Amino acid sequence: MRRFYTNNSERGVSTVEFALASATLFMLLIMVVAGSVLFFTRNALVETTRRGARYAALQAATTPAGGSLRTTDGCDSTGPSVTAIKNYALYGNSGGTGAKLVSDLTPSNICIEYSGFGVGQGTVSVSITNYDFIFKVPGINQTISMPAYRTSVSGESVGASP
């Protein structure tokens, strides 16, 4: 007959090793997911500026754009459909309904700047400023101030509206 020798001093070691290895693996998984959300947010901010700039470039110049009426942060407060442009950038429609690409982004973060804008001339720029990304992971209370994102497009408006 064979005798099986067991060392009672090593009992439970595999459970402890599994706990340490799985905790490390779980933390790596959380870091990958958090990094992916940050990368998605960055891409969504870039797409928001592109969407707003494309929409702004096609708006009829109903009021003088790029005039002297700028806010303190350099954004135009007059121009063709400033509110509609911000809504289009945020929601994908000029009515301002539906879901946003970036949930914490507000119209106050969007800046529209006109430069000599008109039929086939000048440019319009849409930028996102002062946006803070907040990690929404338990135990990680980190806020990242995202850089300003900006897209400029040549004026392609259909001219003055009636």
- The answer to whether the predicted template modeling score (pTM) of the entire model surpasses 0.95 is no
C-alpha 150: how far from its chain's center?
12
CA distance 100 to 7: 61
Which pLDDT belongs to residue 136? 79
* 15-48 confidence digits (pLDDT tens): 888 999 999 999 899 889 888 999 999 999 999 9
Instruction: Give the residue ranges of the chain where pLDDT is below 50.
Output: 161-162
pLDDT value of residue 70? 57
Strand order from edge to edge, sheet including 121-128: 110-118, 121-128, 149-154
Between β-strands 132-134 and 143-145, what pairing exists: parallel, antiparallel or unpaired?
antiparallel
Q: Residue 2 has what pLDDT?
A: 64
Q: What are phi and psi of 37, to 5 degrees?
A: -65, -40
Report the pLDDT value the prediction gives residue 162, as an integer from 0 to 100: 45
pLDDT at 117: 72
